[in-house]
Amino acid sequence: MITNNIVLLMETGTALTLATILAAHLVTRYWKSMARPFAKGFFKGLLWFVLVIAGSLFTYSYSLIMSYGLIGVEWFVIYGLIILWFIREIKVREYRLRV
């Protein structure tokens, strides 16, 4: 199963990251008219990805709350702050594209 093989997951993530960075570089270098729409779509996709991860983290932290009580609440807050920080960073960069 793919979730049991962490090396395969990391390799897949690295390949997708490198492909995205290469595509962004090529678009900004050779196709300047599409650079803004590409970045806009990239940030929208990144936001959706972060929200999917957030759902998994909040589900996990909810199970920690039910199992361990206060320790689960602490992890819930930590996960929430991390996700909010990611969302804020994405929104700041989206705003910079509009200005």
| CA–CA gap between residue 74 and residue 57 (Å, rounded) | 13
Q: For 15-67, how does the pLDDT look when each residue is reduced to its tens digit (9 = 90+)?
A: 888 888 888 888 878 887 887 888 888 889 889 988 888 888 888 888 889 99
Closest CA to 57 of 33, 37, 84, 76: 76
> Which DSSP string corresponds to 7-28?
HHHHHHHHHHHHHHHHHHHHHH
Closest CA to 79 of 98, 54, 97, 43: 54
Residues 9 and 53 placed together within one structural domain of the fold: no
pTM exceeding 0.85 = no
Q: For 3-24, how does the pLDDT look when each residue is reduced to its tens digit (9 = 90+)?
A: 566 677 777 778 888 888 888 8
Residues 70 and 88 placed together within one structural domain of the fold: yes
Residues 44 and 83 placed together within one structural domain of the fold: yes
* Domain around 89: 33-99
pLDDT value for 88? 95
Check: CB of residue 46 under 8 Å from CB of residue 90.
yes
**Domains held by the chain: number:** 2
